Amino acid sequence: MIKLLRVDHRLLHGQVALSWKNALDIDCILIAHDGVPADSLRKQAIKLARPADTKLVIKTVEDSIDAINSGVTEKYRLLIVVESITDAARLCRACAIQWVNLGGTTVRPGTRAISKAVNVTEDEAQTIRELAHEGVHVEIQMVPSDPVRDALHAL
């Protein structure tokens, strides 16, 4: 069962590994990213952040979609972490995920801040609008103790 789809440019780190894992009673974390599976250094760094009692799976976005749609992930209480709003939208659309948590996106050329840790381009803002129109709830929340903000209203 998917407990949360989270966008966080840092992927897995203490904040995700501990606060979200504990708040949602996660037993498996899926990192869905096209570059990480082939990047041994980054993959090793991510593995170091994994809580000892939590399964960690690192797959490309397409392989993640295939795994979710096959039903193999249903036995887990799953946290999916992606690096970008674009990847989150791909997963939502391909896997019928109806909830996205925006935890952090980095400042890049052409971005504007919509919260303390979330920066979006106009294309990403449009993707959020489209997801909302498609019935996906997109929220902003860095850690579980923070108040939840509707991303559509932050745009």
The neighbouring-strand residues paired with 52 are none
Instruction: Measure the N-to-C terminal CA separation of the chain; round to a whole number of Å.
Output: 30
Q: Is 13 a catalytic residue?
A: yes
Give the helix/strand (H/E) hosting 22.
Answer: helix 21-24
Which one from 13, 33, 133, 153 is the annotated catalytic residue? 13
How many other CB atoms are found less than 10 A from the CB of residue 140?
A: 24
Active-site residue set? 13
